[in-house]
Amino acid sequence: MKRNVGILIFNEAEVLDFAGPFEVFSVASEVHNFELFDVFTIAKSKAPISAVNGLSVNPDYTFENHPPIDILIIAGGSGTRSLLDDQNTLDWVENINQSSEITISICSGARLLAKLGLLDGKPYCTHHQVYDHLKELVPTGLPQQDKRFVNAFKVYTSGGISAGIDLSFHIVGELHGKEVVRATAEYMEYRLIAP
């Protein structure tokens, strides 16, 4: 089964939060005859987004015209703070989560999951500088500051920035096995890290 991986990006998204997972899922598919994943970015509009430190990125799709999403990835970055007051984005995330097979937050992207109540009473991790804010957003959540990533049913959260790469490899392995992970990591010349 080929899965669609949709990555939510926005102004002040952390670059590696979306570029790292994009690379892992894309390369996993590339080294397996492009049969595993279609990976694309989504933003509120087609206007270029300005990521952290000014990288300009053109989204592939908007909330209105994207393909079905099997795996939703929510990037982190300082822009997640303003998204907490963006009801249109929150509604979109909530709607996609209802139909997705897997929902992933990278770094401070966990703020959106917390705001939507998706981390209530569940273990989570995020960027080390965001735990205090997450504790305010989800007082019943169970912070896992010693973990690179954690799973709570179909919702996965990861620690800061580079941890999204490790979580992406983990998901690839869960779906397609260790050999696919090994071939992908070998192509990327990436040293895998345990959760």
Q: How confident is the model at residue 1 (pLDDT cuts 50, 70, 90)?
A: confident
Range of the domain at 72: 3-188
Total tally of structural domains belonging to the chain: 1
Query: In this structure, is residue 55 part of a structural domain?
Result: yes
Query: In this structure, is residue 152 part of a structural domain?
Result: yes
% of the chain at pLDDT higher than 70: 98
The string of pLDDT tens digits covering residues 101-124 is 999 999 999 999 999 999 999 999
Query: In this structure, is residue 193 part of a structural domain?
Result: no
Provide the phi-psi class of 77: left if phi over 0, else alpha when psi is between -120 and 50, else beta: left
Query: In this structure, is residue 195 part of a structural domain?
Result: no
The CATH number given to whatever domain includes residue 139 is 3.40.50.880
Q: Does position 153 have pLDDT exceeding 60, yes or no?
A: yes
Q: How confident is the model at residue 96 (pLDDT cuts 50, 70, 90)?
A: very high
SS3 content of the chain, % helix, strand, coil (to 5): 40, 20, 40
Query: In this structure, is residue 194 part of a structural domain?
Result: no
Query: In this structure, is residue 173 part of a structural domain?
Result: yes
pLDDT at residue 192, as a whole number: 84
List Cα–Cα distances, 78 to 103, 111, 116, 147, in angstroms: 20, 10, 18, 21
